[in-house]
Structures are given as C-alpha cells and as structure tokens.
Structure 1
Amino acid sequence: MNQTSPTRLNLLSLKIRHGLAKDGVRMLRSKREVLVREFFVSMKDVAEVRDIIEKKLDNAFTSITLARVFLGDDILKSSAYAYKRDIDVNIKSKNVMGVIVPEIEDVNLKRAIDARGTSPISEPYRINEVTEKFEDVLGSIVSVASKEIRLKRLGSEIQTTSRRINALEEILIPSLTKRIKYIQRMLEEKEREGIFRLKRFKERRKKVEMTI
C-alpha cells in the first residue's frame, strides 16, 4: 500500500478520488447496459439476415444448377463476365455510447433486365433468373456485413468497458479505501495522543499551582 502522508488534506483528496471512482463505475455500468442491449438487438438482426441469405443462396444455387444443365458452363461463364460491375454502397456512421458503428440501409442490387448491358431478347430466361437471384443475395450480403461489423465493435467495447469496471472495483477503489482507512487511523491516533498530552499538561499545571 502506498503510504500517503496522514494529513487531513490528503484524506480529503483521497475521499474525492474515491467518490469519483464510484461515480465512474456507475456510469460505466450504465454504458455497458446500453451496449449490451444494442449488442443483442444486433445479434438477433444478424441471425435473421443470415437465415434469409441461406435460403436465398439455396434458391440461387438451384437456379444455377438448372441453368448449367440446360445451357452449359460456357454460356454461364460468358454471361457472368458480361454482367460484371462495380457496386456503390452508401455507408453512414452511428454513435452508440461512444462506439462508431457503420450503418448501411437495405441494399437493392437487383437490376432490370435491360439495365444489365445485354439484350433482354437474346439473353436466355434462365440466365436472367440466375442473375436476378444472385444480385438479390449480394445485396443481403452487403447489408449483413455492416451489421456484423457493428456487432463486433459493440462486443469489443463491452469487453473494454467490463475491464475498466473491474479495474476500478478490484484495484483502484480497494486501494483508495485502504489508504483512507490508514490516514483516518493515523489521524485518530494523533488526536488521542494530543488529548493525552493535553491532559498530562493540565495535570502538571495543576500540581504546580498547588505547590505555589
């Protein structure tokens, strides 16, 4: 234990720090509660979107399997190359108790047939069906990616906040409590010694007065 000089000024300073540390614990607990609520909401959201993606993928792969059977791999590869494109995603940020998390609104990457750069007349129906379903899947994947990043950041901040609470409750506050008790004990001893010396002084003075 750090032996702080047993003065009333140091005692006051330690009591202030002790109070601030307890206030800090209360604030951190409140912050953690909000983060945990957000975390579970996000976790449920991610789980739901993943289930949707899994179903969409099953449907899309069924379509591509049929397309391979009816059209062959060469036509599929040629169409896939023709449909390549860049994706623009608008990412916003949200502040959740000091944690910056990304937000992407529902992304719709499905294009009309005539917007894919190929002739809607010459393109086989099954190619258009496969393209539409995989564009739908891709939009959901982009959407869930931001939700998973959000979930990861919230989880990380919850762990950090918990460590800070533990550090305050298990290290700092007990240390301050011990130092406060130490100073209080020393001040009480000094006060008792002062009273004892004053009492002895009065007794001696009384004896002197009686001899005069």
Structure 2
Amino acid sequence: MIQPTRTNLLLLRGRLHAVLNCTTILKGRRQALIKEFLRITRPLMQSREEVSQAHARAIDALHISQAREGRAAVDALAALNRRKIAVEVAEGNLLGLRFRDLTMHETVARSFDERPYDMLGSSAWLDEAIEEFEGIVEEMLSLASFEGKFRRLAEELVRLTRRIRILEERIAPELHRDIHAMAQYLAERERESYFRLKRFKGYAARQSGPRAPA
C-alpha cells in the first residue's frame, strides 16, 4: 500500500493524468486506424466478390471444355501453360504498422498471342477458362497485399481496444479510488492536527494566565 502523504497524492494525480492522456492518444490512433481499415475493407470485399464470380465462370468454362475436348487434352494444355510468376515480398509500413507487402513484376493475364499454343487447337470455352483463371490469379496476388494490411490493421485494432479498455475500466478507476481514499485520509489527519493544535493553544493559554494568590 502506498504511504498516504502529500507527495504520494501528487504522484497519484500525475499518474492519473498520464493515464487519461494516454487513453486519449490511443483513442485517436484507433480512430485513424479504423478509417484506414474501412478504406481497405470496401475494395477488398468487392474484389473478393469479383474473384468468386470469376471463379464460378472459369469452372463452368473448364467443365464444358473438358466435356467437349476431353480431360487429357485439357490437362495437357494446362501443363503447357504452367509458368512461374515473379513476385517480391517486402516489408511495408502503414501508420507505423509493419506488414508483408507483395509486388508483382509481371502480369499474369496474357493475350492470345502470348500464350504458348495455337488458338486453332483449342476451343473458345477453353480459351475463356484460361483467361478467367489467369485473371483470378492476378487478382488474388493483388489482394494479397490488401490482405496483409487488413490482417495487420485488425490485429492492431484489437490490441488498442484491449489496452483502452484496461486503462478505462481498471487502471483509471483504481487510481481514482486511491486518490479519493488518500485525500480523505490526509484531510482527516489535517482536521485532527488542527483540533489538537487548537486544544494545545487553549491549554497553553490557560497555563499562562494569571494565578490566584495563595
């Protein structure tokens, strides 16, 4: 227990002031992160929906091409189109938060002239499936950067909210109670000292007054 003194009371009040300032700063930072979180979330959700729709179209086109040309022919053409995509994973910084950022150095989607097979040897359904899947891969790589920011922002928002709750619901109330109790104790002690001093002065005055002759 902290010794109830004027100095310690001032220290407690200073600590409470620091806690309240820290809470205000954390709330301001949380608000800035929320704005950035919402800014990233909207296009991220929209892109996910677009990828989901593109995937459904690609699967439909793939099933049709497999039914018309046979699975073996489609698998052979898929193996012919397989290639490595150059990407770079670097550390990004967003409002002081570090996250993994992914950068593509080439596009995944290709024109018909850039594909390593003769267009006459494939159907329109297979060409469409390849085009859709290439677009999906490119969009998913683009989303990877947003996912890193999204996840990092979400983690930081949870952490900040937890810290703010601890400061507001536990630390600040405890300091308020300690300050109130110590202030009451010191005030009571001062009143007692005042009355003791008053009694002492009265006693001293009586002792120093004129005495009756013997």
Shorter-chain TM band = 0.7 to 0.9
Letter in 2 for 1:32: R
Please state if 1:132 is matched with 2:131. Answer: yes
Aligned to 1:62: 60
Aligned to 1:170: 169
Letter in 1 for 2:53: K
Aligned to 1:52: 50
Query: 1:143-202 deviations in whole A, cap 9, x for unaligned?
Result: 223323322222222111111111111111111111111211121122112211211121
Which stretch has the larger CA shift, 72-81 or 88-97? 88-97
Contact 1:93 1:101 in 2 (8 A): yes
Q: What is the CA-CA distance between 1:203 and the residue it aligns to? A: 0.9
Aligned to 2:156: 157
Q: TM-score with structure 2 length normalisation? A: 0.85
Q: What is the CA-CA distance between 1:98 and the residue it aligns to? A: 3.4
Please state if 1:211 is matched with 2:210. Answer: yes
Q: What is the CA-CA distance between 1:140 and the residue it aligns to? A: 1.0
- Secondary structure in structure 2 of the residue aligned to 1:101: strand
- The share of aligned pairs that are identical, in percent, is 27
In the alignment, the residues of structure 1 paired with residue 133 and residue 153 of structure 2 have an alpha-carbon distance, to the nearest angstrom, of: 30
Aligned to 2:29: 31
Letter in 2 for 1:150: K
In the alignment, the residues of structure 2 paired with residue 7 and residue 39 of structure 1 have an alpha-carbon distance, to the nearest angstrom, of: 47
Which stretch has the larger CA shift, 53-62 or 93-102? 93-102
Structure 2: gaps of 5 or more residues? none
Query: 1:12-51 deviations in whole A, cap 9, x for unaligned?
Result: 1111110110011111111111122222222211211012
Q: What is the CA-CA distance between 1:137 and the residue it aligns to? A: 1.0
Contact 2:26 2:160 in 1 (8 A): yes
* Within-5 A mapping of 1:1-212: 3-104=1-102, 108-113=107-112, 115-116=114-115, 118-120=116-118, 123-126=121-124, 127-211=126-210
In the alignment, the residues of structure 2 paired with residue 94 and residue 131 of structure 1 have an alpha-carbon distance, to the nearest angstrom, of: 32
Contact 1:109 1:139 in 2 (8 A): yes
Structure 1: gaps of 5 or more residues? none
Which stretch has the larger CA shift, 189-198 or 165-174? 189-198
- Secondary structure in structure 1 of the residue aligned to 2:87: coil
- Secondary structure in structure 1 of the residue aligned to 2:182: helix
Letter in 1 for 2:165: N
More relative contact order in 1 or in 2 (CA 8 Å, sep 6+)?
1
